[in-house]
Chain A
Amino acid sequence: MYTFSNKLRLSAFVLMIVGVLGLGYGFLAAPGTVEEAKAMVADARHGGGHAEAATHDAHGTHDEEHAAHDASHDEHLLHQLQNKPWAALYVAAFFFMMIPLGVLAFYAIQRVSQAGWSPLLFRVMEGITAYLLPGAVLVFVILVLSGVHMNHLFVWMDPEVVAHDELIQGKSGYLNVPFFLIRAAIYIAGWVAYRHFSRKFSIAQDTADDNSYFKRNFKISAGFLVFFLVSESMMSWDWIMSVDPHWFSTLFGWYVFASMFVSGITVIALVTIYLKSRGYLEEVNNSHIHDLAKFMFGISIFWTYLWFSQFMLIWYSNIPEEVTYFVTRIEDYKLPFFGMVVLNFVFPLLVLMNSDYKRLNWFVVMTGIVILIGHYIDIYNMIMPATVGDQWFIGIGEIGGVLFFLGLFIFVVFSALTKAPLVPKRNPFIEESKHFHY
Chain B
Amino acid sequence: MSNKVIQAIYTDDDVLLAAVKKVKAAHHHIDEIYTPFPVHGLDKAMGLAPTRIAIASFLYGCVGLTVATLMMNYIMIEDWPQDIGGKPSFSYLENMPAFVPIMFELTVFFAAHLMVITFYLRSKLWPFKKAENPDVRTTDDHFLMEVAVSGNEEELSAFLQETGAVEVKVSEKH
Contact = CB atoms under 8 A, between A and B. Distances in A.
Answer yes or no: do A and B interact.
yes
Interface of A: 308, 311-312, 315-316, 318, 353, 355
Contacts of B58: 353
B98 A308 contact: no
B72 to A, nearest CB: 15
Contacts of A355: 54
B97 interface: yes
Interface size class of B (residues with CB under 8 A): under 10
A341 B97 CA distance: 13
A311 B98 CA distance: 11
B86 A318 contact: yes
B100 interface: yes
Contacts of B98: 312, 316
Contacts of B100: 308, 312
Given A312-B97, A312-B98, A353-B58, 5 more contacts: A308-B100, A311-B97, A312-B100, A316-B97, A318-B86
Contacts of A315: 97
Main secondary structure of the interface of A (DSSP, over half): helix
Contacts of B97: 308, 311-312, 315-316
Contacts of A312: 97-98, 100
A350 B97 CA distance: 21
12 contacts: A308-B97, A308-B100, A311-B97, A312-B97, A312-B98, A312-B100, A315-B97, A316-B97, A316-B98, A318-B86, A353-B58, A355-B54
Contacts of B54: 355
A34 to B, nearest CB: 39
Nearest to A315: B97
Interface string B70-100: 0000000000000000100000000001101
A297 to B, nearest CB: 14
Interface string B92-117: 00000110100000000000000000
A403 B31 CA distance: 61
A312 B104 CA distance: 14
The 7 closest A-B pairs by CB, nearest first: A312-B97, A315-B97, A316-B98, A308-B100, A312-B100, A316-B97, A311-B97
A312 B86 CA distance: 15
B83 to A, nearest CB: 14
Nearest to A355: B54
Nearest to A308: B100
A40 to B, nearest CB: 35
Contacts of A353: 58
A293 to B, nearest CB: 16
Nearest to A318: B86
Interface string B136-168: 000000000000000000000000000000000
A353 B59 CA distance: 13
A219 to B, nearest CB: 34
Nearest to A311: B97
A311 B101 CA distance: 13
Nearest to A356: B50
Interface string B45-59: 000000000100010
Interface centre among B58, B86, B97, B98 (most CB of A within 10 A): B97
B44 to A, nearest CB: 12
Nearest to B86: A318
Contacts of A311: 97
Nearest to B58: A353
A313 to B, nearest CB: 9
Contacts of A308: 97, 100
Nearest to A312: B97
Contacts of A318: 86
